[in-house]
Amino acid sequence: MIRWIARVVGAAFVLAVLWAFGTTLATNLQSPPAPTAEHEFHRHPKEVAFASDGPFGKFDKQQVQRGFQVYKEVCSGCHSLTRVSFRDLHQLGYEEAEVKAIANQWQVEVPSVNPETGEPATRKAVPSDYFPSPYANETAARAANNNALPPDLSLMAKARHDGPAYIYSILTGYQNQPAELLKKFPAAKTPPSLHYNPYFANLNIAMPPPLTSEGQVTYAPGNPKPTVDQMAKDVAAFLMWTAEPNLQGRHKTGFAVLAFLIVATILAYLSYQNIWAEAKRKVAPVGPLDPVNKAKRTRASKKAGIDE
């Protein structure tokens, strides 16, 4: 009975899906999906290496400090970093006094309440505060940016595939819309309020190119020259740190744990071999369960006159 029901149910689903398959085939052969500008002109992130890449990845503190400087002087006007606290900067090598100064001098103040009147007010940041957002809320952010919302950057390196490389590619990827694109997809001309950037998902990004000239940020002596390329790399490295501050510690603990587990596995395996040596567990050389071999063995035994 079950099998009859099974056959009917099976037939129903198989037929329904094959019908759908036929329809898919027909529609796509008759009117194949039109190519889109995104499909043809979108580019994957550029190949670029970061100190944080790979299992041995770590943070180049000096680079991340430069990246912080770029964030501070270029990006923080529009982009918040609300999940990072000023005290986290200790990790980058800043001393307590420096962190206090950075917090105190941060151009955006922290929302607070006037202790005498109870009116909303602002106060200077202290190290235990998180980086305050440049805008009070989303509406304010959009109003100031032509209805675009500059996203918070704390997790950007993990919120995009290939994060740091993506960030670097966006920052260095601004270009004029290629003539080829305009010819093939005249409707996809970049609107005047947006900017063409093939590394962005739909090719037109609301953010105007933030890094435009060498020396936009002045690096302290002993650092590489602040070219657009260098600044982009540095801020991408900084954003990898904001997204995953524990990366270095994670790798360190990882090696210790792996070493322990590998030794544990070896010891456990030797113990297993030791225990099983007593039990008869050797099996025939080629496929113990292979009945062909079993048949061979039976024939061979018979030939040698051994009783089964």
Partner 1 sequence: MSFAWAKPYEPKTELGRWFDDRMPLPRLVYNAVGGGYPVPRNLNYGWNFGVLSGIFLTIQIVTGIVLAMWYFASADGAFNSIEHIMRDVNGGWMMRYAHMNGASFFFIVVYIHIFRGLYYGSYKAPRELVWMLGLVIYLLMMATAFMGYVLPWGQMSYWGAQVITGFFSAFPVVGEPIRVWLLGGYAPDQAALTRFFSLHYLLPFVIAGVVILHIWSLHIPGSSNPTGVDVKSEKDTLPFHPFYTAKDGWFAAAFLTIYAAVLFFAPNYMGHPDNYIPANPLATPAHIVPEWYFWPFYAILRAFTSNFLGIDAKLWGVLAMFTSILLLFFLPWLDKSPVRSGAYRPLFKRFFWLLLLDVAILGYCGGSPAEPLYVALSQLATAYYFAHFLIILPLVSKYETPLPLPNSISESVLHGEKREAAPLGQTAAAN
Partner 2 sequence: MATLEELNAAHVEADHSLRRRDFINIAAVSFAGVGAVAVAIPLVKQMSPPADVLALASTEVDISKIAPGQAIKTSWRKQPVFVRNLTAPEIAAAKAVPLSELRDPQTLDERTKPGKENWLITLGVCTHLGCVPLGTGEGENRGDYGGYFCPCHGSHYDTAARIRKGPAPLNLHVPDYAFTSDTVVTIG
Instruction: Enumerate binding residues for partner 2 (CB under 8 A).
Output: 85, 87, 127-128, 260-261, 263-264, 267-268, 270-271, 274-275, 278
Quick one: 123 or 299, whose CB is closer to partner 2?
A: 123
Contact residue for partner 1 among 128, 221, 282, 303 (CB under 8 A): 282
Number of H-type helices and E-type strands within the chain: 11, 4
CB atoms within 10 A of CB 195: 19
Q: Which is nearer to partner 2, 31 or 117 (CB)?
A: 117
Is 163 within 8 Å of 239 (Cβ atoms)? yes
304: contact with partner 1 by CB under 8 A: no
- Interhelix angle for 61-70 vs 228-243, to 10°? 100
Q: Are 226 and 218 in contact (CB under 8 A)?
A: yes
**Nearest approach, Cβ of residue 34 and partner 1 (Å):** 12
Using CB under 8 A as the binding rule, whether residue 25 contacts partner 1 is answered as yes
Comparison of 119 and 278: residue with beta carbon closer to partner 1: 278
139 binds partner 1 (CB under 8 A): no
Nearer to partner 2, 49 or 263 (CB): 263
**Cβ-Cβ contacts under 8 Å for 30 (sequence gap 6 or more):** none
In the chain, the N- to C-terminal Cα span, in Å, equals 43
**Is 111 an interacting residue with respect to partner 1 (CB under 8 A)?**
no
For position 140 contacting partner 1 by CB under 8 A, the verdict is: no
H-helix segments, the chain: 2-30, 37-41, 61-70, 96-105, 138-144, 156-159, 163-172, 179-184, 228-243, 247-276, 291-303
Contact assessment for residue 227 and residue 214, using Cβ atoms and an 8 Å cutoff: yes
Closest CB to partner 2 among residues 140, 257? 257
Q: How far is the CB of 161 from partner 1 (least distance, A)?
A: 5
Q: Among the candidate windows 12-20, 70-78, 112-120, 187-195, which touches partner 1 by CB under 8 A?
A: 12-20
| Pattern 61-100, partner 1, x by CB under 8 A | ----------------------x----x------------
| Number of shown-chain residues binding partner 1 (CB under 8 A) | 72
- Shortest distance (Å) from residue 222 CB to partner 1: 30
CB of 11 to partner 1, least distance (A): 7
User: Which of 58, 35, 73 is CA-nearest to residue 251?
Assistant: 58
136 touches partner 1 by CB under 8 A: no
State the nearest-atom distance from the C-beta of 258 to partner 2, in Å: 12
21 contacts partner 1 (rule: CB under 8 A): yes
* Dist. CA 196–CA 73, nearest whole Å: 24
CB 205 within 8 A of CB 194: yes
Radius of gyration of the chain (CA): 32
Q: Indicate whether 134 belongs to the interface with partner 1 (CB under 8 A).
A: no
β-strand partners of 196: 204
Shorter beta-carbon distance to partner 2: residue 21 or 276: 276
Which position has the token pair 């100190």?
Answer: 51
* Residue of 103, 217, 239, 243 interacting with partner 1 (CB under 8 A): 243
CB-based contact 142:96 (threshold 8 Å): no
Report phi then psi at 112, rounded to 5: -155, -170
Residues in region 248-277 near partner 1 by CB under 8 A: 250-251, 253-255, 257-258, 261-262, 264-265, 268-269, 271-272, 275-276
